Amino acid sequence: MADALLELDDLAVHYQVGSRFQGGVKALKAVDGITLDVKPGECLGLVGESGCGKSTLALAIMGLVAPTRGVIRLEGRALGARPDRMETARTVQMVFQDPYASLNPRQTVRRTLADPLRLHGVGDKAEIEARVADMMARVGLRPEHADRYPHEFSGGQRQRIGIARALILRPKLVICDEPVSALDVSIRAQIINLLMELKDELGLAYIVISHDLGVVEHVSDRVAVMYLGRIVERGGWREIFENPRHPYTRALIAAIPDPFRRSAATADRKARGEIASALDPPPGCHFHPRCPLRADVCATQAPALEPIADGHLAACHFRDRTG
Amino acid sequence: MKGGTSLWVGGGLVGLAVLVGVLAPWIHLTDPVLAANLMNAEIPPGREFPFGTDAQGRDIYSRIVHGARISLTVGVISQIANTLIGVTLGLTAGYWGGWWDDLVSGLTNLMLAIPSLIFALAIMAILGPGLTSLLIALGLTSWSYSCRIARAQALSLKSQGYVQAARILGYGDLRIMFTQLLPNMLGPLIVIATLGMGGAILAEATLSFLGLGIRPPYPSWGSMLSEARDQITTAPWLSVFPGLAIFFTVLGLNLLGDGLRDILDPQSVARRT
Amino acid sequence: MTTPLLEVRDLRIALDAGGRSHDAVGNVSFSIGRGETFGLVGESGCGKSITALSIMGLLRSPLSLAGGAIALDGREIQDLPAADMRRLRGKRIAMIFQEPMTALNPLSPVGRQIAEMFVLHERASWKEAWERAEDALRQVRVPSPERRVHDYPHQLSGGMRQRVMIAIALACGPDLLVADEPTTALDVTVQAEIVDLMAELCAAKGTAVLMISHDLGLVANMCERVAVMYAGRIVESQAADAIFAHPRHPYTQGLIGSLPLLSARSRHGRQKLREISGVVPSIVAYPPGCRFNPRCPAMTDICARDVPMAESLPDGGLVRCHHHG
């Protein structure tokens, strides 16, 4: 697809861990062969639990870790081994999980927002001033607070500053890494609504990384589910949430506590046991030790990500079995 | 009281020492070097000479007042040198990692394994006595402390979200080190530098005492102690007053360091707010 | 009326900060019956965790118990000497924490830490205690418990460690289990399993549960009754089914309206989430009157002036609001 903003083609990031002297060097396959694309103005939800590789994937897209294999294409251009970070910075930006650790405590809001502009060649003082004020207003901060330091703001306001920083260079794609999970519950809706408004106003594309399926369902156009470095299922949000085909997706949905207790029938969909270490994933389908559907073939053959319907793919030997 | 007693007492003592050093030419009674007069030799403290006189008849008070200049200059300049070396090495090592980190860490451990005074002695022996060689010797030999602090801080700060954000915004490595890392590690570095200043003043005294530091007739507290050692029983004031000057200045610097640690530690700030 | 297992009356917890004393928790009253599961929900800083610590007798400076009573089986325990309180903890009231790694001894095999409970509280011999520890691990469905008893905490995954914590907590068959955010540090699919396990074991042993969490959905799903705390006070308590269906306090209503609930979009399409304006107040600057008033859509003059009383609802719940609907 030529019109994709971001394309990942068989992307893999492996880390060497351990030492030659203690137990030997092992390859940690944090991301292991991922093919994805994001179109302009689209929101892709990326779901997965710890060790699934979603954070490494984000770093690779930002050009902060080098892929072991595969290609990342931004607006059709493949990122080389040493990507142009300035160019990437103007196209992709990131919103972080922790609004406390993600702002420099010694920089005012103005400096946090103005420095990147200067760095990227916006020299005119008045223009910088105007863009900082405009961005602060857009994210719901009062421009007259520009000279305050992060500790003078609440958690929700800090996250707004983090969003303003991500948008100041007018990127086309924003990766939101767990954008609300560190915030107070009563503040989350403000930030989610803000992200959705900004997306429409500025025509942004998002990758929203989250383990909160409620959030992912609310914001996403398409959803990809990751487990131990691989995508196990992807498709439109409606297919993923109404007709999930991978047992892991079903287990994730069944794991959400249902306050209305309609979920009596989902007990057999839940996953058993613990997530394996990404250093030593189970052979075949990584999910098979926890899977309610597992058969002998699952332990020996890794299922490929294959289509069930148009745009809906699942990597399961029993992808055709519903319910 | 913000910062507590140690900050104020320490700041007061150090401030007094600095003030005395700056005002030395105006508050001295006689010239510390030239006003030798054998008629006045070894007069005990009294009305005319508040701290007494030495064997050449020079006023001890005036010599101590001028000695403050030398001691503080040595303390400040050698610590600036140590901090610059230590921070440059530690910051880059912690941020870049890899072989450079291995090299710097190895060098730091080597420096810590050699007593810095012995190292300084060796440098002094090569360069010969004098203020310049003293500054070089002390400024090159105890950067390992600030280097370690800077490296540890860089290691922990570089995984913070705002450093990642800066990289994503296209900041270069040097810009990240200067704008994102350095401002956030200044607190502990200032503390270490303050404490190190006390150490440098003591080291100057030791080297001068051993005859390798400031050469007579110029007054440094260490060289005064060195000269006074033969008369310690007959003219104890010769050693007592320079000794007290060193004691209170170093005490003041250490208290100041502790006090600064309390107010510059971000955790203690968080506790208070 | 039978005596409840745990009764907390007018609990007040003071926080000393900068030479001044603030009420971190005030007017908190609730009771838990034998074998009942009770949930305490609120955001960080609302006082739910320190309420739990006060029940365990574990408040430490700068926090202190400033008033009220905590009764276990009708006997007040808030002023018990430390030694008596120690005997109570573990034997009759047990607690599990959010991060099991900080609650487990890193230098001792997990089997020994479970066995210790039997030796300490039931005067079992070490040999017998080790056998029972293995059984306890089997009960919390740790695979191959005969090997795992010898493992140290760092050798186990987060979920396994929380299972060990549950085994330790339930070892002596306590009457009450206090669970403070027991699954917050865990992955979603692991959380579901741990919650089920906790519910199942407690039901089988007749252990009452005080579950503390920020996750209203999780608590409503697991508990029979739920109390919602805001800024140091309980603002509403109701049966779990009722609280989602008919929340009475504007804060609870706001919370439920602001959650992007699973499958809400499939049913109603994407709707803008209802926001609760403003921020959570800090302990040192609670607003006067109803503490939710600056953020409340139904706020009137009286809300900023008078502290609302806890009013009983016809179906047994309580709500603390001048305008509850």
Task: Indicate the domain borders of chain B.
Answer: 3-7+51-272
pLDDT at residue B271, rounded to an integer:
40
ipTM of the complex: 0.86
* pTM, rounded to two decimals: 0.86
pLDDT at residue B53, rounded to an integer:
78
Q: What are phi and psi of B96, to 5 degrees?
A: -85, -35
Is the CB of C43 less than 8 angstroms away from the CB of A254? no
Instruction: Tell me which amino acid residue C116 is.
Output: E
* A196: contact with C, CB 8 A cutoff: yes
Partners of residue C276 in chain A, C-beta under 8 Å: 186-187, 189-190
Is the CB of B184 less than 8 angstroms away from the CB of A106? yes
Chain mean pLDDT for chain A: 89
Q: Is the pLDDT of residue B46 over 80?
A: no
User: Which of B171, B180, B184 lies nearest to residue A119, judging by beta carbons?
Assistant: B171
Look at residues B204, B259, B255, B235 and name the one whose alpha carbon lies nearest to residue B46.
B235
Q: Are B49 and B59 in contact (CB under 8 A)?
A: yes
Look at residues A160, A116, A166 and name the one whose alpha carbon lies nearest to residue A141.
A160
Residue B30, token pair as written in the block: 């006689």
Q: Is the pLDDT of residue B262 over 70?
A: yes
Residue A323: pLDDT band (50, 70, 90) is: low
Burial of B173 (0-12, 13-18, 19+ CB in 10 A): exposed
User: Which of B165, B175, B184 lies nearest to residue A105, judging by beta carbons?
Assistant: B184
Q: Is the pLDDT of residue A211 over 90?
A: no
- Helix (H) or strand (E) segment spanning residue C314: none
Residue C40, token pair as written in the block: 């305490």
Is the CB of C275 less than 8 angstroms away from the CB of A185? no
Give the 3-state secondary structure of residue A23. Answer: strand
CATH superfamily, domain at B3-7+51-272: MetI-like (1.10.3720.10)
Residues C80-89 pLDDT 10s:
999 999 889 8
Q: Which of residues 167-186 of B touch A (CB under 8 A)?
A: 167-171, 175, 179-180, 183-184
- Nearest chain A residue to B176 by CA distance is A104
- Nearest chain C residue to A270 by CA distance is C189
- List beta partners, residue C69: C9
* Chain B nearest C-alpha distance from A121 (Å): 12
> Minimum mean pLDDT among A216-230, B30-44, B168-182, C306-320: which range?
B30-44
Residue A1: pLDDT band (50, 70, 90) is: very low
Q: Is the pLDDT of residue A181 over 80?
A: yes
pLDDT at residue C136, rounded to an integer:
93
Q: Are C264 and C274 in contact (CB under 8 A)?
A: no
pLDDT at residue B222, rounded to an integer:
81
Q: Are A234 and A224 in contact (CB under 8 A)?
A: yes
Average pLDDT over residues A15-36: 81
Q: Are A216 and A223 in contact (CB under 8 A)?
A: yes
Work out whether the CA dihedral B98, B103, B107, B110 comes out positive or negative.
positive
Compute the CA torsion angle C178, C184, C186, C192 (nearest 10 deg).
Answer: 70
Residues C6-65 pLDDT 10s:
999 999 999 998 788 889 999 999 999 999 999 999 988 899 999 999 999 999 888 999
Partners of residue A218 in chain C, C-beta under 8 Å: 260, 264-265, 270, 273
* Chain A nearest C-alpha distance from C157 (Å): 8
List CB contacts of B101: < 8 A, sequence separation 6 or more.
B93, B94, B151
Q: Count how many residues are written for chain B.
A: 273
> Minimum mean pLDDT among A254-258, B215-219, C72-76, C114-118: which range?
B215-219
pLDDT at residue C274, rounded to an integer:
87
- CA C98 – CA C183 distance, rounded (Å): 6
- Nearest chain A residue to C281 by CA distance is A154
Partners of residue A190 in chain C, C-beta under 8 Å: 275-277
pLDDT at residue C8, rounded to an integer:
95
Q: Count how many residues are written for chain A.
A: 323
Residue B99: pLDDT band (50, 70, 90) is: very high
Residue B1: pLDDT band (50, 70, 90) is: very low
Burial of A229 (0-12, 13-18, 19+ CB in 10 A): buried
pLDDT at residue B273, rounded to an integer:
35
Residues B155-202 pLDDT 10s:
999 989 999 999 999 999 999 999 999 999 988 898 888 888 888 888
Residue A165: pLDDT band (50, 70, 90) is: very high
List CB contacts of B148: < 8 A, sequence separation 6 or more.
B86, B90, B108
Strand order in the sheet with C6-17: C20-32, C6-17, C63-72, C75-76
Q: Are C284 and C275 in contact (CB under 8 A)?
A: no
pLDDT at residue B208, rounded to an integer:
82
Q: Is the pLDDT of residue C290 over 80?
A: yes
Look at residues A146, A142, A154 and name the one whose alpha carbon lies nearest to residue A107.
A146
- Nearest chain A residue to C276 by CA distance is A186
Average pLDDT over residues C152-174: 91
Segments making up each domain of chain C, as ranges:
245-325
* A70: contact with B, CB 8 A cutoff: no
* Chain A nearest C-alpha distance from C281 (Å): 10
